[in-house]
Amino acid sequence: MSDRWQYLIVLGLCLAITVPLEFLGAGVYRQPWRLVRAVLPVALVFLAWDAVAIAAGVWTYNGDYITGIRLPFRLPLEEALFFVVIPVCALLTYNAVNAILDRRKRR
Amino acid sequence: MSGVGYTVPAIVAVLAVCALELTLLHTGLFRRPAYWLSMVIVLGFQVPVDGWLTKRSAPVVIYNEGQTSGVRFPFDIPIEDFLFGFALVTAVLLLWEQQRG
């Protein structure tokens, strides 16, 4: 398989290993509207930062490890997904930690 | 080595997120042990994931070293990435908490 899938595969693995956390507590995917309202505004700000950084040459992406699909402002598709995947993983972690701490408190 | 392009915005992002909570949102997130415990866990996973993306032997993301502090630890992770990650994750958790029913 081509190395160009690397960045996407890393993001896919992050999503895959955090799936079980959904089943602790009230979940994240089960509150889709709350999820969108937490992730979307932050993602837009960070995407703007990213676009400026790319335009200013602060960082670039290695064409060997990305699909090459570019969004407006030369943003790689993977980079946009990053700002959804990582926040979702963090929310799932926070959801699970809260559930575990609450359960211990009730005992 | 100016750090203007990445170091400065990364510090500003952390300060901005903290200011957002302390002046506008008041969710109490920073007083929740679950938040700090989650951040430690997220940090633990950031190191292998970010380490993979930034490794100098086969980088996915390539940094202009003139725009960073030049400090890369652990592995080849620019330390600015930890500020970036803190700001990103904390901002999302703040907006999540703000909607607590």
Q: What is the 3-state secondary structure (H, E, C) of chain B?
A: CCCCCCHHHHHHHHHHHHHHHHHHHCCCHHHCHHHHHHHHHHHHHHHHHHHHHHCCCCCCEEECHHHCCCCECCCCCECHHHHHHHHHHHHHHHHHHHCCC
Parallel, antiparallel, or unpaired for β A59-61 and B61-63?
A: antiparallel
pLDDT on residue B2: 67
pTM of the model: 0.97
DSSP letter (8 states) at residue A66: S
Tens of pLDDT along chain B (101 residues) come to 566 899 999 999 999 999 999 999 999 999 999 999 999 999 999 999 999 999 999 999 999 999 999 999 999 999 999 999 999 999 999 999 999 97
Contacts of A46 in chain B (CB under 8 A): 88
User: Is the model's pLDDT at A70 over the cut of 70?
Assistant: yes
Q: Does A29 touch chain B (CB under 8 A)?
A: no
Q: Does B86 touch chain A (CB under 8 A)?
A: no
pLDDT on residue A1: 63
Distance from CA of A24 to the nearest CA of B (A): 14
If one counts every other C-beta atom within 10 angstroms of the C-beta of residue A103, the result is: 11
- Residue A27 DSSP SS3: coil
Percent of chain A past pLDDT 70, that is, above it, reads 99
> Is A10 in Cβ contact with B92 (below 8 Å)?
no
Q: What is the pLDDT of residues B41-54, one digit of tens each?
A: 999 999 999 999 99
Distance from CA of A97 to the nearest CA of B (A): 6
Structural domain boundaries of chain B?
A: 7-98
Distance from CA of B17 to the nearest CA of A (A): 10
| B94 Cβ contact list (under 8 Å, min separation 6) | B17, B20, B21, B25, B27, B29
Please list, residue by residue across A12-47, b when 16 or more beta carbons sit within 10 angstroms of its beta carbon and e when fewer do: eebeeebeebbebbebbeebeebbeebbeebbebbb
pLDDT on residue A29: 98
Q: What is the pLDDT of residues A74-83, one digit of tens each?
A: 999 999 999 9
Angle between helices B33-54 and A77-106 (to 10 degrees): 150
Angle between helices A32-55 and B7-19 (to 10 degrees): 150
Q: What is the ipTM of this complex?
A: 0.96
CB contacts under 8 A, A 40-69 vs B, are: 41-42, 45-46, 49, 53, 56-62, 64-66
